[in-house]
Amino acid sequence: MRGRHAVVVGGSLSGLLAAYVLADHADTVTIVERDRYPDGPEHRAGLPQDRHTHVLLESGRQALDRLLPGVMDELRGHGAPAIGMPDELLHWQAGRWYRRTPATLRFVSASRPLVDWVVRRRVLADPRIRLVDGTKVTGLVGDADRVRGVRLRARGAGRAGEEPGTLAADLVLDASGRSSRAPGWLTELGAEPAHEERIDTGLAYATRFYRAGANVGAPFRGVYIVPDATQPYGGLILPMEGDRWTVLLSGLRGCEPPTDDAGFRAFADHLPHPVFGEWIDKAEPLGPAHGYRSTANVRRRYDRPGRRPAGFLAAGEALCAFNPVYGQGMTVAALSALALREALDDTRRVPTTRRVQRALCATVRPPWNISAGGDRLLPTALGNATAVRAVDRPGTWYMSRVVRRATGDPVVGAAFRAMTGLVVPPSALFAPAVARAVLLRPEPQAPVEPPMRPEEGGER
């Protein structure tokens, strides 16, 4: 792509990181963002999820530092907490609490506005990258064989009536999120949109920010309650920068959490232990609760055959959107940018559109298997990808044993966390030491009450 122009549709985390990678392979990269960025780490209307809990998983921390060396130090400098699992969390899953054995990995629980702002400053400091904000992409320019640019329309007061324009490009990467309009754009060119797989449990969640209040000094740094087929309620309490905490409550279809003060607090009483509500009672709310309901898993199969133009790629949630309750979004954005870089840097192969797109699709496959694989087992799941095939049933049975044993067996727990943290592939759960514990040993004891102190050697 040397000497050419690339356009990235959407300036969220996925788009920013993709633009940074593309800048090493094009003379100019233009990010077209319909929103206007705030001056600092503040909320913005175009990113409704930024008022909710976000985490950067272990593999996301590593990937982001590989892409932007030193960025994790910068986030820590702004107060972004790193939480050790399982020693620093009260974690309830499969009807039991996890033992608080020494941490085997860590995740970062910074706010989404902080992460975006830190990354945005680094990316936009590159003179090869330019930003066109307050502008909406309304379609693609080209034909079914090749994309040659995008159509634009200005947004905002005094600009919405401006005539649409075009922006020529040799490559267009769609990072516009789960509401991507690319299927329609491709159809307009005479090309084929990708087949969509969808699993929607109807899960909804509400988030509120707090000061710790009388919880200061509590012997844990978070509470994590995971819903399942028999228990539809979930919750998450985590610290974030600025001496604030984020509290998230979730429920499956028919059990959605309210956002009014009394209703939000009362909903916490549905959780399987009062420790969650007791924490809220001692904390100081910093504002209202905000709700969110767009939580379906949606994967667009750009890796499958179909007539699609050269010069068009999809990444981020425009390619694969996950149920946000799994906390994979920011991590997958970083991992996808690494995959894009590796595909473009590979001197052994010509980086055709199809080859690069397949690399991006391969990157989202493990997190899709985690989030979609878990959600399709829930009783409220709807969609065209909810069926559990006969070939999948042995794996589902094995995974149910993993989840039960992970709470009380440190070996199984470490492997399970590494897999869900996207550090290792699911095949790691079949390593000999893990398989022996899962298949041959009796189910280990696990706490039936929240373990209020880490086990020996677990404190850091």
Radius of gyration of the chain (CA): 22
Is the bond into 86 cis (omega within 30 degrees of 0)?
yes
pLDDT tens digits along 295-333:
999 999 999 999 999 999 999 999 999 999 899 999 999
pLDDT tens digits along 387-422:
988 888 999 999 999 999 999 999 999 999 999 999
CB 248 within 8 A of CB 205: yes
CATH topology of domain 5-54+115-198+295-373: FAD/NAD(P)-binding domain (3.50.50)
The residue extents of the domains of the chain are 5-54+115-198+295-373, 203-292, 390-439
Stated as kind and residue range, the H or E segment containing 64 is helix 58-67
Selection from 401, 298, 391, 359 nearest residue 173 by Cα:
359
How far the first Cα of the chain sits from its last, in Å, is 48
CB 227 within 8 A of CB 236: no
Which of 3.20.20.140, 2.130.10.30, 3.30.70.2450, 3.40.920.10 is the CATH number of 203-292? 3.30.70.2450
Q: How many helices (H) and strands (E) does the chain have?
A: 12, 21
Instruction: For residues 44 and 273, give the distance between their C-alpha atoms in angstroms, rounded to a whole number.
Output: 35
Instruction: For residues 92 and 447, give the distance between their C-alpha atoms in angstroms, rounded to a whole number.
Output: 9
CB 455 within 8 A of CB 100: yes
CB 211 within 8 A of CB 41: no
Instruction: For residues 41 and 80, give the distance between their C-alpha atoms in angstroms, rounded to a whole number.
Output: 12
Q: Residue 347: its pLDDT value, please?
A: 86
Give the predicted TM-score (pTM) of the model.
Answer: 0.94
E-strand ranges in 339-441 read: none
Q: Residue 459: its pLDDT value, please?
A: 39
Low-confidence residues in the chain, pLDDT < 70? 1-3, 156-164, 457-460
pLDDT tens digits along 355-391:
999 999 999 999 999 999 999 999 999 999 999 888 8
